[in-house]
Structure 1
Amino acid sequence: MNEIKTKKQLPSKEERHKLFGSVEPGPRTKPEEKSKMPDLQNTKKDFLFELDAVGVQNVKHPIVVPSTLNPKEQSTIGNFYFASTISQDSKGTNMSRFTEQLNVYHANGFKVDIKTLKQFVKELQGRLKQKDAELSVEFPWFFEREAPYTGKSGMNHAEAWIKVNYHHENGYDVKVGLKGKITTLCPCSKEISEYSAHNQRGNVIIEVTLDPDYDETNIDWKEVLLEATESNASARIHPVLKRPDEKMVTEQAYENPRFVEDMVRLVSSDLYELDFVKQFHVKCVNEESIHLHDAIASITYDKRKEK
């Protein structure tokens, strides 16, 4: 038999707060107006060392990403890092200035392209009153992909990022990167096996330094880096595959076996031929299907050091 409970008579919310430790505000002796408050971070003394970087990271914020592939414009979330160096005679930075400026750009629709980010970083350097400022933003980039035989389409995505550094004397340094997924088929397995060959999902990570005169209105770096990744793979990854598509993809992979060493050399060759790429780092990580380990290979090359 269910016991009938008497309805509780709770104290007021204020009394409940007091019950759990809340107390009345104490006397207020310090100023409440910003102009009268001490600014410790702007203290000028000899603080022993210059700081390489001071700022904020893991700042998630809505952004708009333009693309030459469908969808042409997409709303997503960017993960930001903001920083600047701090001179030896400065105690620190005003952290709120980073996110304050982010909100100003958001109010106008924050389109994450290189032109906008260069402007952002230059303004940030002036706001911080330091000799430099840097920004990086990572975001998922979606693009439409059609199946090779049926034409059935779906959405693929890659991880993309932009890094911009501005120095008031040296100007800009801009790097962009992409991590895309591919299929790789093992050449050794194909060579020694009677019936088949094992394959795996590969992850290609590219980061490049852009030429100062790079014009993103004519060339979308995201599409170019994606093509360098996928066109050199055993086969591309597809969101939708019917049986005729699957036949084409698996046969293509069998006809184009790739080691991780092959992948980074082939991708690097494509990047080397791009005039707007001045330096590049390429890494391939294969999630092996018949081993517990991953296979890796990488190349770093700086075209600016060539004679």
Structure 2
Amino acid sequence: MDKTQTIARLQLPNKKERHQLFGSVAPGPKSKPTEKSKMPDLQNIKKDFLFDLDVCGVSNIKYPISVKSILKPEVQTTIGTFRFSSTIEKTSKGTNMSRFMEQLNKYHEVGFTADFATMRLFTKELAERLEKPDAEIEVSFPWFYERRGPQSDLAGMNHANVTLRAVYDERKGYKFSGSLSVLITTLCPCSKEISEYSAHNQRGNVTINIDFDENFDDEFFDWKEALLEAAESNASARLHPVLKRPDEKVVTETAYENPRFVEDMVRLVAADLYEMDFVRKFEVICRNEESIHMHDAIASLTYDKALEEAGE
């Protein structure tokens, strides 16, 4: 006796009928023009629209980009999250959003590199494409760098979050700013001081925001690495992707030898930034995810070298 059972297949309606089942309807009559030259352009209406706009553009755009680094990997492909904008005078209704994307794709086709040279050209060309006197671009991305165990020398990949911004104004020229955010280890000085043995530590997040000197050129100097070193070298210890037991011993002992409050962190990082000639203004923020508290600990400071030079 044949024990094989025949399973009946579902009898599905065709795809068109399935679409109709779920609400699709036949196209209706169309009377509006399909040629671009005959379509109304609401964004280019000229009237008094009451106020100028500081920012008008698009954001949260993800595209592949290339990043150069002094640390391995020296050339890497990562994902950039973009924001593009320009100002809009009150006599204009709005902007042409598609032109932002056309500009990005033009650069993507030849390879978008997140550096000053690219951002300089991009913003000027974007302003011309938009027929505006200014344009701004911001790109954020994870920047990867090799980190080796302090004892085993085993390699792995760490990353920091980086943002680069460029503003072009046909009257004022260019302005560049950037930021880097990286995780560190901090060990509590108070815990070390009052405990018979051991001390609690936590993961900290250091964020550095800077305005670049107007003459700075990143062709021969990696500002990302400089900011990374400012954050990590002042921490209780650096984070590592690969740690064997001999590495862990070094890291924990290093943290114990270098206790840091969040207040200590922002002041120490600020001192390093103050000594960097390419940094004009900076903000340092440290946030610790406390290991024995329900809350986080935070501290920040801002310093503007221009005010110092002006004697203020």
TM-score by length of 2: 0.94
Which residue identity does 1:126 align to in structure 2?
Answer: E
Q: Do the aligned partners of residues 196 and 7 (structure 1) sit closer, same or farther apart at CA in structure 2, a change above 3 Å counting?
A: closer
* Superposition pairs of residues 8-27 of structure 1, within 5 angstroms: 8-27=10-29
- The offset of 1:207, in angstroms, is 0.7
* Superposition pairs of residues 202-221 of structure 1, within 5 angstroms: 202-221=204-223
Q: Do the aligned partners of residues 259 and 20 (structure 1) sit closer, same or farther apart at CA in structure 2, a change above 3 Å counting?
A: closer
Aligned partner of 2:62 in structure 1 is: 60
Aligned partner of 2:274 in structure 1 is: 272
Alpha-carbon separation, structure 1, partners of 2:296 and 2:38: 59
Aligned partner of 1:236 in structure 2 is: 238
8 A contact 2:140–2:161 mirrored in 1: yes
8 A contact 2:280–2:305 mirrored in 1: yes
Aligned partner of 1:290 in structure 2 is: 292
**Percentage of pairs with the same residue:** 64
Equivalent residue for 2:252, pick from 250, 255, 264: 250
Alpha-carbon separation, structure 2, partners of 1:6 and 1:206: 65
Q: CA offsets, 1:236-287, max 9 Å, x none?
A: 1111111111111111111111110010000000000111000000000011
Equivalent residue for 2:163, pick from 155, 161, 164: 161
Which residue identity does 2:17 align to in structure 1?
Answer: E
- The offset of 1:29, in angstroms, is 1.8
- SS of alignment partner, residue 235 of structure 1: coil
Misfit runs of 4+, over 6 Å: none
* Superposition pairs of residues 44-193 of structure 1, within 5 angstroms: 44-193=46-195
- SS of alignment partner, residue 24 of structure 1: coil
- SS of alignment partner, residue 173 of structure 1: strand
Which residue identity does 1:91 align to in structure 2?
Answer: K
Alpha-carbon separation, structure 1, partners of 2:227 and 2:178: 9
8 A contact 2:146–2:155 mirrored in 1: yes
- The offset of 1:126, in angstroms, is 1.1
8 A contact 2:116–2:217 mirrored in 1: no
- SS of alignment partner, residue 241 of structure 2: coil
Alpha-carbon separation, structure 1, partners of 2:182 and 2:264: 16
Alpha-carbon separation, structure 2, partners of 1:284 and 1:63: 28
8 A contact 2:53–2:90 mirrored in 1: yes
Alpha-carbon separation, structure 1, partners of 2:165 and 2:307: 22
Which residue identity does 2:243 align to in structure 1?
Answer: L
Stretches of structure 2 lacking an aligned partner (at least 5 in a row): none
- The offset of 1:19, in angstroms, is 3.6
Alpha-carbon separation, structure 2, partners of 1:140 and 1:170: 31
